[in-house]
Amino acid sequence: MAAAKKVELILPENLLETVDSIAKKENMTRSECIENAMRFYIEEREKRELREQLIQGYQEMAEINIKISEDFFSAEQELWFTN
């Protein structure tokens, strides 16, 4: 595990109460609870970014495939009508 560094956070009181409640139920410290929440958020954000990149990549590939199909269709038509 990487070295820990102390930080100061300002949170809404109701959020802190929720964090404390979860930490107590999960038998962990407030810091551990916040760390877990931050890790979860970062992992989900990375998944979302990857998903968006994949969608963009598939859309770009679809456009390329359409262009290739159109080019080959034109070439095939030309071949049929010249023979």
Domain ranges in the chain?
A: 25-82
pLDDT computed for residue 30 by the predictor:
97
Tell me the whole-structure pTM to 2 decimals: 0.69
Q: Are 32 and 23 within 8 A, CB to CB?
A: yes
CB neighbourhood size of 33 (10 A) = 19
| DSSP per-residue codes, 14-32 | HHHHHHHHHHHHTT--HHH
Q: Are 19 and 34 within 8 A, CB to CB?
A: yes
pLDDT above 90 (res 79): no
Question: Which pair of structure tokens corresponds to residue 8?
Answer: 């100061």
pLDDT tens for 31-78 read 999 999 999 999 999 999 999 999 999 999 999 999 888 888 877 777
pLDDT computed for residue 47 by the predictor:
98
Phi/psi zone of residue 25: left (φ > 0), alpha (ψ -120 to 50 degrees), beta?
Answer: alpha
35/81: higher pLDDT: 35
